[in-house]
Amino acid sequence: MYWVIFIHGGAWRDPDPTATNFAAKAVVELFNSGVAEVIEGPLGDERQAIHPDHLNDVISGIQYLQRKFLFGDRYLLSGHSCGATLAYQTLIQQSMDKLETHVVRQAIVGVAGLYDLPLLRDMDPIPPMCQQLLRAAFGTDETLWRDVSPATYSDFETLWPTGKLAVMAYCEDDEDVSLVQLDTMHHALKLWGEKKGRLVKTINLKGGHDEAWRKGSGLASAVEKSINYTQELSSIGT
């Protein structure tokens, strides 16, 4: 059995996606498919938070769940939009945290992910709006924006040596996130994914940016396929 921890999006401050409604429909579909037991780690009300507050919240949630349920590395960390950013940022936090660590997940599943923050601003059809969101979440130092962007990480082998699967799902009609985000992340993971026993996969989802979680089927499909990929990798390694 694999555990699935969902990190919702919302541009680091939108109150619409919540711990209650974000994964509800996807969870129903996953239960019906019988592929996994699923939980969601709530982020709480982070609208006034600034980096690394969001990330610390995610790390604390994972640590709590691991202490309580003892599932080790048998979990997938799935994030939508900025939730995908946070999922990959946990790798850097893991390497920096010397006080208490969490067991790193076998797979990360990004859905409509934001992987290069300066690029997000540069390609946004309304740049001032995106700039405002990024400043609210990360401050005014744009060097930091780049440093915390998963697509700029220079050494995934060091950050995630035990990882097995990186999935990037994208929405065909995404009105908010360019496919260039997908391309830059795929390039960043290229060397990491060439090692035996690992996979880097892309998944195409129908609909717009938020349809994957609002309707549930897109998010559920991405997670179910990812669990299947992980099980295939595990069977090869045994």
**Digit-coded pLDDT (tens) for 122-143:** 987 666 788 888 999 999 999 9
**Residue of 93, 99, 223 whose CA lies nearest to 160:** 93
Where exactly are the structural domains of the chain? 3-237
Residue 25 pLDDT grade (very low, low, confident, very high; cuts 50, 70, 90): low
Torsion angles phi and psi, residue 58, rounded to 5: -65, -50
Dist CA 11 CA 105 (whole Å) = 24
Pairing of strands 165-171, 107-111: parallel
Contact criterion met (CB below 8 Å) for 192 and 200: yes
- pLDDT, tens digit (0-9, with 9 covering 90-100), for 191-212: 999 999 999 999 999 999 888 8
Residue 22 has a pLDDT of 47
Active site residues: 81
| Alpha-carbon gap, residue 109 to 23, rounded angstroms | 14
Per-residue confidence (pLDDT) for residue 103, from 0 to 100: 74
Tokens of 116: 């290069």
| Angle subtended at Cα 34 by Cα 91 and Cα 107, rounded to the nearest 5 degrees | 15
Residue 152, judged by CB atoms within 10 A of its CB (0-12, 13-18, 19+), counts as: middle
As given in the structure block, the two tokens for residue 164 are 């097995």
Distance of CA 213 to the CA centre of its chain: 13
Amino acid 98: pLDDT: 46
CATH superfamily of domain region 3-237: Alpha/Beta hydrolase fold, catalytic domain (3.40.50.1820)
The amino acid at residue 177 is V
Residue 108's SS3 state is: strand
